[in-house]
Structure 1
Amino acid sequence: MILALALWLGISITAIAEEPIIIGLNFPRTGHYKEEGLAQMRGALLAIDEINAKGGLLGRPIKLITRDTASRPEKAARNVDSMIGEGAVMLFGSVSSAVAVAAAERARQNKTIYFSTIGYANDVTTEKGHRYIFRESTSATMSARALGEYLTLNFPNKKYFYITADYSWGHSSEESLRKNTNTQDTNTHPGVLVPFPSAKQSDYSSALKKAEESNAEVIVLALYGHDLVRAMRTADTMGLNRKTQIVAPNLTQTVIEQTGPSLMVGVLGTEHWFWRVPEIEKSGTGLMFTKNFSDRYGLYPASAAASAYTVIYQWADAVSRSKSLDSANVIKALENHEYQLLKDKAQWRGFDHQNVQTVYVVRVNGRETVVRHPSRQDYLEVVHSLSGDKAAISHDEWKELRKAAKQPDTLR
């Protein structure tokens, strides 16, 4: 009986030790931004398989569960409850900033850490920031400061026209870029809003017609994902992309692939990562990630995939260092932690939980450059970069934004 009891206890302890650690991906599998969502899924699965192949985390395998947000904030919030109910101890995902804010707020109510993988609106880590949210991607201000430096130097005294998606990311992107290009005067540099998420083809046609009639020399498309794709196709039909400099503040591989690289030649924007970055920064880990991703999926990774991959590795590292799955302990381990993974050095800043990293100003390559590479994915050229500490808002700026929003000057 003693032997039988010992054997039973041993089996039970082993079963407990091998019980998986559950994490949840809250991503757009359908609707707006589904391509960026798929990239996140692929990056996450690669990271989890690599960690599990090395023995897992705290001696246990990691298991991923997922929910489709359809890029709807209310659905994303419900997903948080559902995944926590299934035992998820960490949540990540989103593309839309509104989704990130809604999901993270529900996670805060459940005292569970949430990583905004993508979500560029400033308020994600300023007015709407709190103790349980971390943002891996850059903010609208970080993009605008890098892009503004380049545009001011290379397109001085030009007339701008802004076409902006009518939601938080669009507003903060336009506001930030106007400030950093000295184009705040809306009489000289006009703009229009297009509905989000329900814009029609006529909305893009009308907006671009106004841009053309304004005689603008620089057209800023503060649009993202499918909205940017539709606007660029319309601009190509009108010939605007061949006679006017077009700027897309957040210019991603997935958008270029959906639109067609030939339609986007010369478009300027920013990225916080793309597959050429590890070569530029001489990052061995980044090069290996790109190779492993390419071997597994038959294509090179987009920034959304790199963000999801980074989030999982950084969360796992914080769990290992804190020897805990408790969100409070993991948060302490992440705050002010500096690391180097897929590029140069980055840091999870303590006071606002913004990931501070280098921002790259990029321009879409011509067809010859794209097809010359065996992958046919050599879409982007880096024309300028800005270090994270210069791109990100200061602590004083952050406190002023929080004060204006009547929020406490420390994360709660």
Structure 2
Amino acid sequence: MPRALFALLLAALLGQAQAESLKIGLNYPRTGNAKDEGLELRRGALLAVETINQDGGLLGRRLELLSANTDSSAAQAAANVEHFARQGVRMVFGGTSSEEAMAAGQQARAHGLLYFATLSYANEVTGQAGQRYLFRESSSAWMSARVLGEYLAWHLPRQRYYYILSDDTWGRSLEQALRLATGSSDRARHGRSVLPRGPLRREQYRAALDKAAASGADILVLALLGDNLQHSMRLAHNLGLKQRLQVIVPNLSKSLVQQTGPLVMEDVIGTETWTWDMPRQEDSAAGLLFVERYIAAHQEYPGSTAASAYTIVQQWADAVRRTGSSDSETLISTLEDHSYQLLKDRQQWRGFDHQNLQSIYAVRVRKREQVMRDPFKQHYFEIIHRMSGEQAAPSHDEWIQERGEVLTLQ
């Protein structure tokens, strides 16, 4: 082969290698019980990728987002990771259930890939099931329970509770944590109904709500997610239960209120880690820019779900820049105990369990007439109580007690 032709071929190959994108994978539900949250996840992730590429990409390469539908299934989430690994991704993130996070996280670990969990609230995710390749950006059941427990102890003391929960890891985890935080552990006094997983019939929701109405409870806790929560809230509203009971939805989101309707959701109390107007309150330039770009792209406010996906991509990219590497082991040591400020006040990836420590807020859904006065009719949440991440999250001693014999992440 002539030397000039060889040089041309070599230059072409080098150019192709340099142009090859750096891939990351998003697990999200395009269909199923949590499809509305899935849409927000994808929008937040795409905005982060777009922002990074506008700033020159990573390691001289364009960042590319691959995505796959989980249909809110843990088995599908794990299969997606296998698919992503074959396509050469360097990190995977997403999910809208704790089962998805744990299954996908284990599959990612088998391929030496980091997995960042979103909307995965069960304590087990960074507790018993915690492992080195899994980081969680969302809050845990303990964190939601503690901020709610403190608020309710101050403002609604000595109340009787009734719990309606889904028969899954998060539902059981949340119930246990909130019972401890509110002093409602006595099941004889503070009753419960457990709904099976998967699609439910109207009579199943009605039977659980009728039991709550007949229990003499003052506070109704709906530890449900997605379509199941929307159906339960609409039925509770139509039955007039909100006039008799204070409804608690431990993990609220913009898309939940948007899809269920502000009239149905008004006065409901729950928790959030971020709202669209928080950057203004915290004087966060990066947060304000995120809100501005999201509104420009979608003509609506971003919610905490979009913010979580955006933060994960930006934080992984930041670690890649700081180390000059996308190697998972290198990034683990760089992320552990790293603190940062992006869309709100200071946050930290805690080293011993990989839980993201961040402020968590008890919020109340505003009255419908207040919501309708907003330009986008999406200013849903009033912050009624705040707790720091350090105070809300389990301590190291509590984490060790939950872990049992395995006292470090493996």
User: Match of 1:12?
Assistant: 13
Over the residues paired in the alignment, what is the CA RMSD in angstroms?
1.0
* Cα distance in structure 1, aligned partners of 2:235 and 2:158: 27
What is the identity, as a one-letter code, of the residue corresponding to 1:128? A
Check the 8 A contact 1:241/1:263 in 2, yes or no.
Answer: no
* Cα distance in structure 1, aligned partners of 2:379 and 2:125: 31
* Cα distance in structure 2, aligned partners of 1:201 and 1:122: 30
* Cα distance in structure 2, aligned partners of 1:97 and 1:281: 30
User: Match of 1:221?
Assistant: 222
Secondary structure of 1:184's counterpart equals coil
**Is 1:350 the counterpart of 2:367 in the alignment?**
no
Secondary structure of 1:118's counterpart equals coil
What is the identity, as a one-letter code, of the residue corresponding to 1:328? E
Secondary structure of 2:36's counterpart equals helix
User: Match of 2:277?
Assistant: 276
Check the 8 A contact 1:39/1:304 in 2, yes or no.
Answer: yes
Q: Give the deviation of 1:52 after TM superposition.
A: 0.6
Q: Give the deviation of 1:12 after TM superposition.
A: 2.1
* Cα distance in structure 2, aligned partners of 1:375 and 1:74: 37
Q: Give the deviation of 1:284 after TM superposition.
A: 1.5
Check the 8 A contact 1:337/1:349 in 2, yes or no.
Answer: yes
* Cα distance in structure 2, aligned partners of 1:353 and 1:49: 27
More displaced 10-residue stretch of structure 1: 249-258 or 191-200: 191-200
**Is 1:410 the counterpart of 2:408 in the alignment?**
yes
1:232-311 correspondence runs (5 A) = 232-311=233-312
Secondary structure of 2:297's counterpart equals helix
1:54-133 correspondence runs (5 A) = 54-133=55-134
What is the identity, as a one-letter code, of the residue corresponding to 1:309? Y
User: Match of 1:383?
Assistant: 384
Q: Give the deviation of 1:253 after TM superposition.
A: 0.9
User: Match of 2:152?
Assistant: 151
Secondary structure of 1:183's counterpart equals coil
**Is 1:167 the counterpart of 2:165 in the alignment?**
no
Secondary structure of 1:343's counterpart equals coil
Give the TM-score normalised by structure 1. 0.97
Check the 8 A contact 1:44/1:309 in 2, yes or no.
Answer: yes
Q: Give the deviation of 1:3 after TM superposition.
A: 4.2
User: Match of 1:328?
Assistant: 329
Unaligned 5+ runs, structure 1: none
Secondary structure of 2:409's counterpart equals coil
* Cα distance in structure 2, aligned partners of 1:159 and 1:194: 21
* Cα distance in structure 2, aligned partners of 1:121 and 1:318: 26
* Cα distance in structure 1, aligned partners of 2:328 and 2:277: 34
Structure 1 runs (4+) deviating above 6 angstroms are none
User: Match of 2:314?
Assistant: 313
* Cα distance in structure 2, aligned partners of 1:332 and 1:324: 12
Secondary structure of 1:248's counterpart equals strand
Unaligned 5+ runs, structure 2: none
Q: Give the deviation of 1:85 after TM superposition.
A: 0.4
Check the 8 A contact 2:43/2:306 in 1, yes or no.
Answer: yes
Q: Give the deviation of 1:268 after TM superposition.
A: 0.1
* Cα distance in structure 1, aligned partners of 2:173 and 2:250: 11
* Cα distance in structure 2, aligned partners of 1:399 and 1:188: 31
Q: Give the deviation of 1:109 after TM superposition.
A: 1.2
* Cα distance in structure 1, aligned partners of 2:118 and 2:86: 22
Check the 8 A contact 1:162/1:221 in 2, yes or no.
Answer: yes
What is the identity, as a one-letter code, of the residue corresponding to 2:109? R
What is the identity, as a one-letter code, of the residue corresponding to 1:316? A
What is the identity, as a one-letter code, of the residue corresponding to 1:147? L
Q: Give the deviation of 1:368 after TM superposition.
A: 2.0
Q: Give the deviation of 1:257 after TM superposition.
A: 0.8
User: Match of 1:368?
Assistant: 369
Q: Give the deviation of 1:281 after TM superposition.
A: 1.8
More displaced 10-residue stretch of structure 1: 274-283 or 203-212: 274-283
Q: Give the deviation of 1:2 after TM superposition.
A: 4.1
* Cα distance in structure 2, aligned partners of 1:149 and 1:281: 23
Check the 8 A contact 2:341/2:347 in 1, yes or no.
Answer: yes
Check the 8 A contact 2:199/2:228 in 1, yes or no.
Answer: no
Secondary structure of 1:128's counterpart equals coil
What is the identity, as a one-letter code, of the residue corresponding to 1:410? T
What is the identity, as a one-letter code, of the residue corresponding to 1:370? V
Give the TM-score normalised by structure 2. 0.98
What is the identity, as a one-letter code, of the residue corresponding to 2:47? L
Secondary structure of 2:363's counterpart equals strand
